[in-house]
Amino acid sequence: MTPSSFEEEIFSNTLENMEPLLLILIIAAIALLLFAIEIFLTPGFGVAGIAATVCVVIADAMVYFYFDSFTATVTLLASIALVFLLVWWLARARTLERIALKANIDSTNATPDQLSVRPGQKGRALTRLALIGNAVIEGRTVEVKSTGDFIDEGTPIVVTAVQDALILVQKDGAS
C-alpha cells in the first residue's frame, strides 16, 4: 500500500464514520465563516456568499436525510430565521457603518495651469467647444467647458467661473 492511498483510505474512513450531526455542524460553521468573509472582507454577493448559501442548503438537506421530518423542518425554519435575524442585527447595530470608509476625497487631478486660472481672465478657444474643449487663457493651455452655446475654434472667450479643475467660459462679448 502506497502512502498516498493509505492517506486516502484514512480520510475516506474518517468521513464515513463521522457522525452526521458533527458533519452538519462543520458545514454550518463553514457557512458562517464564508458569510463573515463576504460581509467584512469581500462585500457584494460574490463567491463567498454563494458558497455560504450552498453550505446552508447542503446542511439543511443533510438534516432532512439523516433526521425525521419534524426536526428537519424546524432546522430549515431556524436557518431562515437566523439569516433574517443576522440581516436585521447588522442593520440595527450599525456594524457596517462602523467599518465603512468615511474619508472624503478632497484632492483633484487639476494641473497647476488649471488651478491658476481666475474668473474674468480672457483667452481664445483652441478647439471647438462642443461644451468641452481646450483653450489658451493668458498663455496657458487648459481644458474648459462652455456655459451653454457651442464656441468655434479661435473665438475669444472669458472665464466666468472656476470650480476646482472645471473652468467655465463663455464667448467674450467685448471682442
pLDDT, tens digit (0-9, with 9 covering 90-100), for 31-59: 988 888 887 777 666 888 889 889 988 98
User: For position 100, what pLDDT does the model report?
Assistant: 67
Contact criterion met (CB below 8 Å) for 169 and 147: yes
User: For position 3, what pLDDT does the model report?
Assistant: 55
User: For position 114, what pLDDT does the model report?
Assistant: 78
Burial class of 113 by CB neighbour count within 10 A (0 to 12, 13 to 18, 19+): middle
- Give the single-character DSSP code of 37: I
User: For position 65, what pLDDT does the model report?
Assistant: 86
Q: What are the start-end ranges of the H helices in the chain?
A: 3-17, 20-36, 47-66, 69-93, 95-99, 112-116
User: For position 15, what pLDDT does the model report?
Assistant: 54
Per run of 10 residues, the mean pLDDT along the chain (length 175 residues) is: 58 60 88 84 79 89 86 86 80 70 72 84 92 90 88 92 87 74
Pair 124, 77 in one domain: no
- Among 51, 67, 99, where does a domain finish? 99
Pair 91, 116 in one domain: no
User: For position 7, what pLDDT does the model report?
Assistant: 60
Flag whether the pTM goes above 0.75: no
Residue 105 domain flag: no
Q: Which domain holds residue 7?
A: 3-99
Pair 81, 136 in one domain: no
User: For position 18, what pLDDT does the model report?
Assistant: 62
Q: For the chain, how many structural domains are there in total? A: 2
